[in-house]
Chains A and B, each alone.
Chain A
């Protein structure tokens, strides 16, 4: 997916950029409202991540101009302010959602997915491996053209595997991606989800291979 990040704090921007790029997203970075306007006029973005306190003005002004310009690119606001009334005005101004800094990256992803799903506009992000197609935004998985129902964590697990077929993921890495940091889970908890996913993929051409002591990888028959 293609993101536009509007954030003046370079350190934070770098961290968000590296994390989103790690997940395979394309992302442009603007540090000022002026740059953001230029970027959003030139490029087509799936989603804009917008900070509120910016050096050359208030992010809400950008939001207002963005909406007045009839751009319907969804906007998720990154706010560091905590007042509830502030959050309400954000949504009134046309933001699709907001996260409060510091945010859990998984939550940001979940919110991005939810916003995109509401906008119902992303058939282009479908991944296909073997006879399995996966739309991460809509959360729809099809095996040989038939939709199957997966729980959220199973979807996230499948997403990881499908983004890098053949790559071995260690148990810890999978735990980090599937569980939030305040859940106390052992690495073995991942076995349950791998087991379920295997069951779902039984009829497909995909297999999940266990590499003893190393982790799991997605293999294609």
Chain B
């Protein structure tokens, strides 16, 4: 039955994937955010130094006697020294015209006031440029001096690389820890579900009682509907068993009435044609009641075979019980049972199924045996427990041998003997349910042999 359950993605995998995916996204977010923030801070540092340098140059600008003089201190540029030997460029403009420095340095128009920084490409390398302007007032009028200082970004890139590495390491560590945590969380969450499954799988086949152990609140709807389902199943199984028993009763009682009347009448009538009719009536009744009984038995066996209830049994005991029960019937035909059995032949199986199978096999032997004959029954234990039943009836028709265990199949030589064609099917089904098998053969001296091994 488990084969028919279609699996969607497992809960464990789903939960793990969601948790790990979440951790990965978080780790990436942390990485980018921290790196971005670190970049900003590092850039700010560089901008401040550049700004200080620009300001100190501007501060040195004076107009003396109508001439602009800038005597900027060495420190203005030396403060920009870095470990990576970044190159520094500058340019000084008066009213938009280059006074000194690199004329091709990228420029932007600035109003006098606080410095402004931006990144541009100069001489094939990215540089950070800070520009500030100052208004100077002299007797001739006013003039605007602006200064740009640029610096390559090697030191900054190095710092950023270091920061990125550290942040990446941190992110990876976070991710690993979160993964471990999500595995643990998943197991802890799935645990009660697993325990419920085990407790249900370990149940005996007839145990349909509700789950009594406490379960987590989220599982209560599932477990209560499971309990509900089992309750209904139990109820309907009981009902159908009762129904089968009741149905058998309803069918068999009138049949029994008709049969007994026919038998009683047969004792009184003399006319041969009436007697013939009564005899065939009795046979038809036997046929139908046997078929009804075996159909119900077969249904019961098919049901039980799905949930085999194994017990340790002594096969010899089972066989001798059934033999002694059938003794009066055998006696009617002067048939004797010759039983050769080891005292104890242990088998593990369902007693009701085995009894039914063995009874069907011995019943068959009885039906097909001629009067005053012997039925040989052997029970022994070699590699497997084995029961052999041999009669001296007509035997199995060799060409039909393979198909006789099929449902409703009957031998071509079974004419005139009541049977439903289910006896061997039942025996075979029971053998197969116990991982055993049923082998049909014929004795060389004539008569059928059935070997039932478990």
**Which residues of A are at the interface with B, using a C-beta cutoff of 8 A?**
9, 11-12, 15-16, 18-19, 22, 53, 78, 80-86, 88, 97, 100-107, 110-111, 113-114, 151-153, 170, 172-173, 176, 180-184
Which one, B56-64, B193-201, B279-287, is touching chain A?
B279-287
Q: Residues of B contacting A110 with CB < 8 Å? A: 328-329, 331-332
Any chain A CB within 8 A of the CB of B327?
Answer: yes
B352 touches A181 (CB 8 A): no
Q: Give A153's nearest chain B residue, CB to CB.
A: B334
B249 touches A81 (CB 8 A): yes
Stretch at the interface among B162-170, B180-188, B292-300, B434-442: B292-300
Residue of A with least CB distance to B250: A80
Instruction: Flag the segment in B11-19, B85-93, B267-275 that touches A.
Output: B267-275
CB contact between A82 and one of B263, B293, B367, B372 (< 8 Å): that residue: B293
- Give the most central of A16, A111, A180, A181: most B CB within 10 Å: A181
Asked if A184 and B416 make an inter-chain contact with CB atoms under 8 angstroms apart, the answer reads yes
A82 touches B329 (CB 8 A): no
B272-A172 in contact (CB<8A):
yes
For B272, what are the chain A residues with a Cβ–Cβ distance below 8 Å? Answer: 172
The 5 listed contacts between A and B (C-beta, < 8 Å) are: A15-B263, A82-B297, A84-B300, A102-B259, A104-B286
B260 touches A107 (CB 8 A): no
**Is A106 touching B332 in the complex (CB atoms < 8 A)?**
yes
Point out the residue from B244, B249, B259, B416 that lies within 8 Å of A53, measured CB to CB. Answer: B249
> Please, what's the 1-or-0 string for B395-436, where 1 marks a CB less than 8 Å from any CB in chain A?
000000000000000000000111000000000000000000
Say yes or no: B253 contacts A172, CB within 8 Å. no
A197 to chain B, nearest CB (A): 13
| B372 proximity list for chain A (CB < 8 A) | 151
Q: Which residues of A contact B263 (CB under 8 A)?
A: 15, 19, 105
Distance in Å from the Cβ of A171 to the closest Cβ of chain B?
A: 11
Are A12 and B267 in contact (CB-based, < 8 A)? no
Q: Which residues of A contact B331 (CB under 8 A)?
A: 110, 114, 152
CB of B252 within 8 A of CB of A84, answer: no
Contact A19 B257 (CB under 8 A): no
Please, which residues of chain B bring their CB within 8 A of the CB of A16?
Answer: 260
Q: Please name 11 further chain A to chain B contacts, defined as beta carbons within 8 Å, in addition to the given A15-B257, A105-B263, A182-B417, sorted by A numbering.
A: A80-B249, A84-B297, A84-B356, A85-B352, A97-B325, A100-B252, A101-B256, A110-B331, A176-B275, A182-B286, A182-B418
